[in-house]
Structure 1
Amino acid sequence: MRAFDPAGMLVAEDSAEVILRLPPTIQIKPPPAISCDMPAVPLDASNSTQADDLAALWHTNDGHFSGDSTGWMAAADRAGTYFFTLTDTLAGCSTTDSVVVTGEAVFPDADAGLPQTLTCETPVLTLSGQVSTGSNLFFEWDTEDGHIVSGAQTLQPIVDAPGTYELVVWNELTDCETTATVTIDADFKTPHAEAGKDVQLNCLAPAATLNGNASTAGNFLYAWHSPDGHILAGADGLTPTVDAPGLYFLTVTNLDNGCVGMDSVWAFADMEAPQLTILPAPTFTCATSFLILDATNSSTGSQFSFVWDTDEGLLLSGKNSPSPVVGAPGEYVLTLTNLVNGCTAAGAVTVPADTLAPDFEILAPLLLTCVRSEVFLQSSAGTAANFLFDWTTSDGHLVTPNNAPTALADAPGTYQLTILNISNGCQSTQKATVIEDRQPPDVVVGDTLVLPCDGAPVRLSGAAPGTPDPVFEWNTPDGHFASDPNAPDPLVDAPGTYVLTVTNAQNGCSDTGETTVSVPVSLSFEAKTISPDCGATFGQIIFGDVWNGAPPFVFSVDGGAHFSSHPVFDSLPPGNYVLMVQDLEGCESLQNVTLTDAATPTVGLEREVSLTWGDFYKIKPKIHFPDTDIVAINWTPTLEIDCPTCLMPVVRPTEDRIYRLELTLASGCVTTAETAFRVEKPTDFFVPNAFSPDGDGVNDRLILYARPNTVRRIRSFVVADRWGGVVFSAKNIPPNDPSAGWDGQTSSTPAPTGVYIWTTEIEWMDGRRQVWSGDVLLTRKR
């Protein structure tokens, strides 16, 4: 095709091809007739035209396809007319042809029945087959894995094994055969029955619980029984309680299949009580301090427990042994327990007693007097053959042997008789008191008498107050009686010793008293002289005690030229003095004394004292005069001394030093002394034991000292009070550094004086570490 414009020019040109498509052709092969041997026959149009753009389809109005009806091949299972159409999908034209299927496949009906299950309750089953009706039918059962017991040519055979059972039905006329199958399962699973472990019954556990919990759980029935035991409770559960020995069976029934499992368990019993044998006990007497009971013939061993008890006796030891020690008569009960099975046996034994003591008394003894020196002691016990006698006394005295029924005593006191019954060891004791009346008279004589200067006699004085019917008798070895010496108050006219004897007529006791008659005794006295001190001119004489005179007394320092009633004489210059004392009767006594010139007082100090560096030392001077005479004290130098104006100061020299003491006395005298201190300084490490932070520049800080090149550093330094409270601490400080020490301050206030505890850790030059601790005294002078 061409296209031209109005000018006749060609402007476009194209072409097209026209193709003629012929309808497809169909060729269908004649199908065989339907029969039981071929219940479905092929419909075959494969010889028809085949192309990719052709669509093939089989269809029927009175037949039936067995399978897919699209495509050139199909299958028919029913007689009828079957159409085949080929359609050209490009041209839209189609071609149809048909074929007739004849014949019929009439199969008999066959039903093998429902599946069933063989169980322990139904070990055989009857199958239930069904077939079409008619006389021309034959049927038979068969199985490859089961077992037909009987009736294989019947519709209801009996089987006893699981498997697949096949029912074959054959129509003799059509030769058609139908097969049906049924599956028979089997459930013969026996449930697991586990009766558990054997149990032990004993006195501790008379009943026990069996444990069947390990058995199969689910829809099961549990039952326990025993031919010789006894089930107390729970026979239909897994944990029954039994209280008798025997064999117990557990039966577990599966309610779904009727299968039964069984297991058994033993219940053993140990109910045997221990053997208990207690031998008769001996008799408890007074000689018995203890007895041993004997149950050793009983069951013994580590599995047996002995427990003794008593209400009236006394268990000393062995309460839990077969042989206890008892200390009193009475009934003793033994409980013997087998600790393995808990069974017990009990028994008792009685310890008899023979504890009757002798019954007696001691007859009242007579009194001891100055004329009756011994008395008899006698008991009422007689002389029994089985008695032993023992007389004792702690404050008296026995003259005769002490093992007789009677005794002889010669001293007052408490006498004790113990009588022992040797047949049972029992004894009893009685006491008797021997009293004496040996009280001598109370002799009273007068004071010492002095014969007068004129020689006149003096009268003695004697008495015995409280003594009935006293008898008086005076004697003298060197004097002379001027009247009857048997009177209580005779006259005597000579010096000497006069003895008075007074006798009590009732007890014969006597006593003496004596007095002295003397001639006048000369006076004596004491006096004290005080010589003049340094700077003084006069001394002093002081009269003291005066003896053997008749007061009042007068005193003289010039041999009696002048007397004074005042015993102190002052303002006496040095020299010799004759002292005299005169009594009321003119008797005199003389002494010669001297007042010396003033002497310089002296003081003594130790010549040399050796100290270890840091030690304190208290200086104690020796003075030869009253310290009240001292009016001024001065120590020099004042370095390292706590009180330069004290008599006994405390020093702590850190180097060799000489201290000088100067004392000024009230008399104006001055005395001096010196003492030297040799100080041994520390060689390695040293912490002082005291310091005085009072701001005087001496020992104001607690410093840690070390020999040079020995201590690298002070790792820690802690000071605490007596209650553990930290008052100072420092770390990593050098030794010998005053600024690093404690200044006695705590919380910016002065710490109280007293003892403090310090602890320090030092590091030596070789790397070693060492912990030191000690105490330090903090003192202050103000």
Structure 2
Amino acid sequence: MFRFLLVIVLLTIFHCNAQPFSNVVSLDGQNDFIEIPNAFNTQFQSNVTIEAWVKPCAIDGHRMILTKFWCGNNGNQFYFTILDGKLRWAWDNTGCNDGANFYETGIVVQANVWQHVAIKHTPTGVTIYYNGSPIPGTLIQGSYANMLLSNEPLRIGVYKTITGNWFGSYFGLMDEVRIWDAALSDALILSRYNAPLVGNEPNLEGYYNMDISGVGNGITVPNIATNNGNTVDGVTIGTASGPFFFNQTTGTFNQFLGNDTTLCQGDSILLDASLIVGTYLWQDGSSDSVQWVNQPGNYYVTVTKNCEVYTDTIQVDYFPLVTVDFGVDTTLCGNETLNLDATFINANYAWQDGSNAPTFNVNSAGWHWVVVEANGCFGGDSILISYLPAADVNLGPDTSACLGTNILLNANTGATSYLWNNGSTNTTLNVNQSGVYFVETAGYCGSSYDTIQVNFIAAPIVNLGNDTLLCANETYLINAPNINGATGYLWQDGSTGASFLANQTGNYSLAVSIDGCTGVGSIQVNYSSLFLDLGPTDTTLCFPATLNLDLTQGNASYLWQDGTTNSTYTISENGMYYVTISDNTCSLSDTIQVELNKVNSSFSFSTQSECGLGRVICQNLSAVNMGTINQLEWYIDGERITSVNSPLFNFEVSGNYAIQLKAYSTFGCFADTTITIPVVAYPVPLANFQTSTNEAAENDPVQFINLSYNADTYQWLFSDGFVSVEKSLSHTFETPGFFQIDLYVSNEWCHDTVVKFVTVKTPIRYYIPNAFTPDGNALNQLFSPIFQSGFDPYDFQLTIYNQWGEVLFITHNATIGWDGTYNNSLVKNGVYLWKVKFLDTEHNERIIEYGTVTVVR
């Protein structure tokens, strides 16, 4: 309630006499105004009425309301201004201020107050109105008369001086600018001045009600008048900060700080008054456009823009701090529990396990936490709970272990002290001998005592015999030893029999258990490294290849079928071969049958010569001693060409060519042979020529240049009947048309032909005179181009210029020439420029010609 009453009081102070309309424009009195382009409905000579609502911040000097005045190319018309508190109407009826007329009132305009002003002009008098009623005024210079027409734009809020500078900038607020093309009656002005218009009232030419928002340069200000169908909108001229349009309705801009608000402890809020661009004064005396708030209280700001003052206030409060306190981290014993209480007024809860009650019962170790929300504010706490076991120590039941192992006795209960029977004070005791062991503990959760009997049992001895060496394919049976009390056998592969058959090199092991204690024995079985493999029993070799056998290994001895004893043997002939190899333990034998496959690659050939082509015909003659020839490959200069039996090779260029034949047998063996063969291909002539042009004019010579090669003789045939045997020549076509030219060339073996075409056209013929005598004697009276042929009369233009480039004559009719006149008068004697454009129909291209013509009378 307090905030509302404060706003009402401030509005009473700063907005008394406010006029009843909504949006207004604020002008800064320096460099902004509204400009309305010139149009027929802003041209006034006799009767005109102009109105505006004004609230000036300053009334000193000239403060222009509406002007259409400048002593320049556009002429003067009128301006309506505030001059030192008076209202002045000025109009011109002769130009450049020489006949300026001034009508002026006494001091009536007040600063910082909304008031309506109007002026009515007729050829016989002027009336000025204040708040809808006529007030006294005086003609202080000139006389009543019509106004001088002007092409100058209308301007709201400024005047353009004779030097082109801006003068008399309006400072303050303005609204409801109205322009009537009539002298309104006193009754109409009084009845309408304090109410908005529809826009279609009779004689209303301009109606700018400022019902727009925004700030800056280039904003369109609509003309609401709709009578003449040619409304002219205005546009703002200024900077990024002006002009400034805003809503003038009571209360507007008095809520720009927002609603009263309540924050959480530690939060802050930014109060922003920059919605209104002006000067600022906050409750603490600061002058920034914004203020940060982090404490409760009542905050307010006053914004001054031009002569308007706006204010707003906001109450900022803070919710109580959400607090939770679980105390310090806690240690519990055994099965103890702890109740955590986070109760807060009108709060919501979120515990670490997802529960949402105000309390939580702890029965496990770890971090426990809660988040508490009240009024959109948050608080919380966390606590680390540790658990110690109960005081009772337990070493477990009496136990046994295999001799040679250790047992770790663990008495750790979280106690603070430990005492073993051997005097140790550690939490654990490592034992490896049979006996009785005990421990006593004491700590946070009390004291305790326990004892345990530990027995150690010896493992059995397992003997599998000595390591052994075997020959290939031999086996060895390994038997488990007879051990009293054995409860099971386990071989290295997981089998559990009393014996194991070894058939490969390796280490074989057996685990035997007695009362859970296990003894392990092992034996190494090795095989002789002696080996023998001569390869497949029947082997075929491709002649002249050999088969090299290398059996070298360790300290072995060798005996071949021919009695030799080397570890290597080379086979290069057909036959049966065998060998025996021995060491101190084992002996091996093997046999191999070897066959040699011999391939003979051979072919015959013959050659032929033709025009542009040399031929080689080949015949395969290859053979093999066993099997058959099943694949042929022919190559020319290393490139594979074909696999047929008797190929034909064509060559377009003479030369020596290396032809190779590869022959393959069914056993995969091959042989090859290469023959270099001379080949002759007779040269082929190529007919070709070029012309000096493809489009010639009749009776103009055309050059024909012979570009043929590999030729000795030439013959030219022209479709117009001309024949020649010259190598190159020149020919003239006497008639237009499309002509074919054939060139035949040949040498001793071959010939060739080429055909080309030439188009012959009749050239365009026209004449343009350089002088004419328009003197009325019926001779040489017109200047015009004279065409005989070759142009399109529908695509033609003749233009005549004087020496300054001004167009004197133009025509698109080739039959109409220039008669030497301009504006129905003969031009002076002299030289004139002409330009002719026309379409050349023969070549389908546009021609542009320039020149001069002399007028002589």
Q: Same fold (TM over 0.5)?
A: no
Flag the structure with larger Rg.
1
Larger relative contact order (C-alpha < 8 A, sep ≥ 6)?
2
Q: TM-score scaled to structure 2, two decimals?
A: 0.22
Q: TM-score scaled to structure 1, two decimals?
A: 0.23
